[in-house]
Structure 1
Amino acid sequence: MEMTITESGPGTAVLKPVGRLNMASAPHFKEGIRVALGRGFTRIVVDLSEIDFMDSSGLGAIINGLKSAREQGGELRLAAVSWQAGLVLKLTNMDQVLSVHEDARTAFADV
């Protein structure tokens, strides 16, 4: 899995993983969250538009990222969720727990 981290505003970073977010790539994703938080970004947007497969390990990595962000006084939100990732969120009811937005630009528009 490839992933980019870009700044989208003061204190806000967008992580955009590409490919599969699963057991093999979850540690890389968690490291990306750690790097973003280490750089002082407390608002994390995870753009899932280019995730073509996500399993429970990927979902667990996202939840771990939410917990890490909140421990630093921040927040993690999802944006542009692909169909397959959205299905995983819906089947697990995590779409009720995680904040899901249409695109990365508007994920923190309310702040």
Structure 2
Amino acid sequence: MNLTINVVNEGPMKSVVYLVGEIDAYTAPNLKEALIPLTRQEEHHVEVDLAEINYMDSTGLGTFISALKSSKEYSSKLTLVNIQDRVLRLFKITGLDEIMDLRASIRGGSE
């Protein structure tokens, strides 16, 4: 199981994290290592593009919960975009869709 992580800085206050593969117990630590430092930058907006994620387990959800807590602590913003239905279902079942900023498209919604 592999996960490719590509962080693209779109200016001094915004980063987009493109993910390809699966988020599970094996790959989640690498995602957390890439994601948490971005959320620790004050007023930074971090978008995570999940368009190419076809599988995620509870470890992945835990990683995003940690990133959400970090973003609140450091006054940054975390947005998850382009979520496939299968993965979105996990967020809905756990109620995380109520507390996390989930978007249908990476350029959609208000900034």
TM-score by length of structure 1 reads: 0.86
Is 1:65 aligned to 2:67, yes or no? yes
| Divergent runs of 4+, >6 A | 38-41
Task: Figure out how many residues of one structure are paired with residues of the other and give that number.
Answer: 109
Q: 1:63/1:69 Cα in 2 relative to 1: closer, same or farther (>3 Å)?
A: same
RMSD: 1.9
Where structure 1 has 5 or more consecutive residues not aligned to the other structure, the ranges are none
Structure 2 unmatched ranges of 5 or more: none
1:15 to 14, 17, 24: 17
Give the structure 2 partner of residue 45 of structure 1: 47
Equivalent residue of 2:26, what SS? coil
TM (norm. structure 2) is 0.86
Q: Indicate the SS of the match to 1:106.
A: coil
AA matched with 2:80: L
Structure 1 residue 36 displacement after superposition: 2.7
Q: CA deviation at 1:39?
A: 6.9
Deviations 1:79-110 (A, max 9, x none): 01012210111111111111111222235x33
- Structure 2 residue identity aligned to 1:4: N
CA contact (8 A) 2:49 2:80 kept: yes
C-alpha separation between the residues in 2 aligned to 1:40 and 1:55? 29
